[in-house]
Amino acid sequence: MTLRANYCATVISKSTADMQEDSDQDDAERLLASSVIDGLVAVGGAVTPESLLRAYRAGVFPWSSDPMVTWWSPDPRAIFEMERFRPSRSLRKRIRRAGWTFTVDRDFEGVMCQCAEPTPSRPTTWITGDFVAAYTELHRRGAAHSVEVYQEEELVGGLYGVSIGGFFGGESMFHRRPDASKAALAHLVQHLRQRGFVLLDAQVPNPHLTSLGAVAISRDEYLARLRHAMALPVVF
């Protein structure tokens, strides 16, 4: 890991001992929701690049490693229908006025660290040091990616996730300015459309994701669409 990743892991360790914006504004609520509990498929094991790729290919994602890693495949599943996704007029106006710039894969570790950092509205985090190490290695291998939002040279928003073929699994997002994470999502959708992606996973349905345009589909439909997406010869 780089110095930044070591620092990030230290910050995460401290916050865990004391113990995404927007779509991860309260991960505890997701864990307590009965529809999510029904999606628990495994407990334990290690978070490694290999285990992550096996999980995503099976429609499963990890969530929390305190005290043990848990693995989920919720039914229903939240996705964004990219062809129908449209940023709101107010968001488009805010992007223009803020003068934000967008990048892809410029600072993956920085985005993960920001997603993991506790905030006043979210004092705990599920993104522990083992998550940072595994996803950073996936990024090095070209299977995990980030979107960054900058105001001048300051990183003010972003998100990260995993890609396999024409599938992108969104993991977490953050903002340091109002609406910056929403702007990152809008940029991601535009990028995925241009590359020929067909499935953008948002994991667990909740009212906030619905307000952003996510829809819920059955697990069976999700898995069928996942198989089709992963087979596409597209590159992030």
pLDDT of residue 25: 37
* Intervals of the chain under pLDDT 50: 1-7, 9-36
Alpha helices of the chain — where are they, by DSSP H? 3-18, 27-32, 34-37, 49-57, 89-98, 108-116, 129-140, 180-195, 207-212, 219-230
Angle at 92 between CA 88 and CA 97, to 5 degrees: 145
Q: Are 153 and 226 in contact (CB under 8 A)?
A: no
Residue type, 160: Y
pLDDT of residue 177: 96
Residue type, 111: V
Q: Specify the pTM.
A: 0.85
pLDDT of residue 173: 95
Q: What is the pLDDT of residues 66-102, one digit of tens each?
A: 788 999 999 999 999 999 999 999 999 999 999 999 9
Residue type, 124: T
> Which domains, and CATH codes, for the chain?
3-230 (3.40.630.70)
Q: Are 125 and 116 in contact (CB under 8 A)?
A: yes
Nearest alpha carbon to residue 107 among 151, 149, 49:
149
